[in-house]
Structure 1
Amino acid sequence: MCDLNILFEDDDIIALNKPSGLLVHPSWIAPRGTPNLASMLKVYFNGGSPYTIHRLDRPTSGVILFGKNKEIAQKMNALFAERKVEKTYLCMVRGYTPDGDVIDYALKEELDKIADKHANKDKEPQEAVSDYRRLDTVELDIPVGRYEKSRYSLVEVKPKTGRKHQIRRHMKHIFHPIIGDTNHGDNKHNKSFRENFDLQRLMLMASTIKFEHPITHQVMEITAPVDLYTDQLFTQFGWAGLYPSDNTHT
C-alpha cells in the first residue's frame, strides 16, 4: 500500500495527490483488500472515517479532497453542486487540437453493468460542458497506422459540469482521445506508447482545484504535481514548465 501524498490538511479538509491506478473507495470491480484511499485515510485518522466530497476515476491521478467531518462534507458537496468549485485537468491527446474551445456536448449516463443494473437505461443525455486550451504540441518520428509520424497535444481542461468520464468522452467527441484511455481512446496510439515509452497509465491528471473554504472563507487553490513518469515523458517532449511539477498550495 502506497503512502498518502498529502497536499493540504487542516481541521476540516485533507487534500491528497492520488496516484493513477489507485481506487478512491473499495469497489466490486476489484478484489477484496485492494488498496484504496478511503481505507488508507481511515488508518491515518486512527479509525475515523473520511467523508467523500468528490471522486476521481481509478486511472486518473491528481488532487482529490476528503472531509474530516459530516458538516464540511455537506458544505463542500453543496459548493460542487452549485458549480462554485473550479477544477483544472491536464491531459495528453492524439493529434493537434485547436488552440482552445468550449465542448458543449450532452452525455448519456454511463451505467455499470452490476452496480447500476436496476437503473433507468433510457434517461435523457445530461448537460456536459468543458473548456479547453492547447498548451503545446509534439511530433514524433514514430509511425502509427498509415501515418509515418505521430502528433500529440498537451491540453488543459476545465470541466464546468461533472459527468462520469466527461473529459475522456468529450476529447473523444472532438476526435482527440486521451492517450492511455482503454475505454474511449485510440488503441493504435495506446499500443505505440506502451511499446515506445512503457506507458502504463491514463494520461489524465487532476492538476488544480480552487474553491472558497466553507469554514475559514479563504480562497483555496491546491495543486498536484504530475508523477515522475509523466514529468520525464513531458520533459522529453519539450513541455517542461507548462504543468505543475512540484507540491504547491495556497
Structure 2
Amino acid sequence: MMILYQDEHLVAVNKPSGWLVHRSWLDRHEKVVVMQTVRDQIGQHVFTVHRLDRPTSGVLLMALSSDVARQLSQQFEQHQIQKVYHAVVRGYVTDSGTIDHALVEQLDKIADKFAQENKEAQPAVSHYRALSQVEVPMAVGRYDTARYSLVELMPQTGRKHQLRRHMKHIFHPIIGDSAHGDLRHNRAIAEHFGCQRLMLHASHLSLTHPVTGEPLLISAPWEQRWQDLMTSFGWTEQCPEYNGVEINPSITQDSLKR
C-alpha cells in the first residue's frame, strides 16, 4: 500500500482498485482491507473519515486520532475538502460543464436492509472537464469504431455513486462500471486491452490541515493498468508524475466561483 502523506495526525494512501476500505459483516472473510493493511504498515490505529467505492482507486485519507477524525469528518460534511477525480468514459466529451441532477438515495439490499429508504431526490452537483479523446478501430455493437474520452471530475456534493450516476445521466458512462455503465464497451475494453477495472480514480484531495491550519494537497499516481490503457489510447502526455503534494488539479474552488 503506497503511503502518499503521513504526519503525526494524518495518513493518506493510494487505495488500489478492488480493495475494501474496511471489513464489514458482509465481507468478514475478505483478506485485503485498507484499514487493517495501513494499521499494520504504520503500527498504529487509524480512523476513516471518508470512503471510496471498492472498484475506485486513489487518495484515501485517514486520521490517527478520534479528535482529528471528527474534525476531518466535519470538513467533508461541510464540503470544505475538494476532491478531483479522473475517468475514462464512453463517447466524445469536448467541453467543460456542470451536472446539476438530483439523485434518489441508493440502498444496498443487504448492507442497508435496516436503513429507512428516502425516496426524495437529493441535490447532487458535479463538475467536469474534457482532457483527451480517441477513436479506436474496434467494433462495438453496430459501430465499426469506438470513441472514448479522458475527463477530470469534481463532485461538489457527496451522494452514493454520484460521479458514476452523473456521467451516465449525460450519456457518457464510465468504462468498467458494471452498475451504471455500458456493458458492451466494458467487455470490449476488457477483451482488447485487458483492462477490467472501473476507470475512476481519485487523483487529488485538497484540504486545510485540521491541526496546523495549513493548506494540504495530496495526489495519487495512476496504477499500471491505467497507465497501460493511456498508452494504448495515445494519451501518455496526460499521464501525471504525481509527487506527494506538488501537483495542483486544474479544477479549483476559485475557478468554480467565476
- 2:143 is the counterpart of 1:153: no
Range that drifts further, 94-103 or 27-36 = 27-36
- 2:113 is the counterpart of 1:117: yes
Aligned to 1:65: 61
1:43-73 CA deviation, whole Å, 9 max, x = no partner? 2343x32111110000000001000001111
Question: Secondary structure, in 3 states, of the residue corresponding to 2:238?
Answer: coil
- 2:200 is the counterpart of 1:200: no
Q: Percent of aligned positions with the same letter in both sequences?
A: 48
**Separation in 1 of the partners of 2:87 and 2:66?**
33
Range that drifts further, 59-68 or 226-235 = 226-235
Aligned to 1:40: 37
**Separation in 2 of the partners of 1:149 and 1:108?**
35
What is the 5 A alignment of 1:93-132? Answer: 93-132=89-128
Instruction: Name the amino acid aligned to 2:10.
Output: I
Q: TM-score normalised to the size of structure 2?
A: 0.91
Q: 2:206 aligns with which of 207, 210, 223?
A: 210
Q: 2:229 aligns with which of 208, 213, 233?
A: 233
1:149-201 CA deviation, whole Å, 9 max, x = no partner? 10000000000001110000000011100000011000000010111011121
When the two structures are aligned, how many residues end up with a matched partner? 246
- 2:31 is the counterpart of 1:16: no
Aligned to 1:178: 174
**Separation in 1 of the partners of 2:21 and 2:38?**
10
How far apart are 1:11 and its partner, in Å?
Answer: 0.4
Task: Report the CA distance shift for 1:245/1:230 in structure 2 as closer, same or farther (over 3 A).
Answer: farther
How far apart are 1:100 and its partner, in Å?
Answer: 1.2
CA contact (8 A) 2:141 2:184 kept: yes
- 2:84 is the counterpart of 1:85: no
Range that drifts further, 136-145 or 48-57 = 48-57
Instruction: Name the amino acid aligned to 1:16.
Output: V
Instruction: Name the amino acid aligned to 1:39.
Output: Q
Instruction: Name the amino acid aligned to 2:105.
Output: E
How far apart are 1:117 and its partner, in Å?
Answer: 1.1
1:102-156 CA deviation, whole Å, 9 max, x = no partner? 0001111110112211222243111110000100100000010001110000000
Task: Report the CA distance shift for 1:188/1:29 in structure 2 as closer, same or farther (over 3 A).
Answer: farther
Instruction: Name the amino acid aligned to 1:55.
Output: R
How far apart are 1:91 and its partner, in Å?
Answer: 0.1
- 2:186 is the counterpart of 1:190: yes
1:77-105 CA deviation, whole Å, 9 max, x = no partner? 11111111110000000001241110001
Instruction: Name the amino acid aligned to 1:30.
Output: D
Instruction: Name the amino acid aligned to 2:199.
Output: M
CA contact (8 A) 2:230 2:239 kept: no
CA contact (8 A) 2:137 2:144 kept: yes
CA contact (8 A) 1:107 1:127 kept: yes
Which consecutive unaligned segments of at least 5 residues does structure 2 have?
247-258
CA contact (8 A) 2:58 2:220 kept: yes
CA contact (8 A) 1:56 1:64 kept: yes
Question: Secondary structure, in 3 states, of the residue corresponding to 1:205?
Answer: strand
How far apart are 1:244 and its partner, in Å?
Answer: 2.6
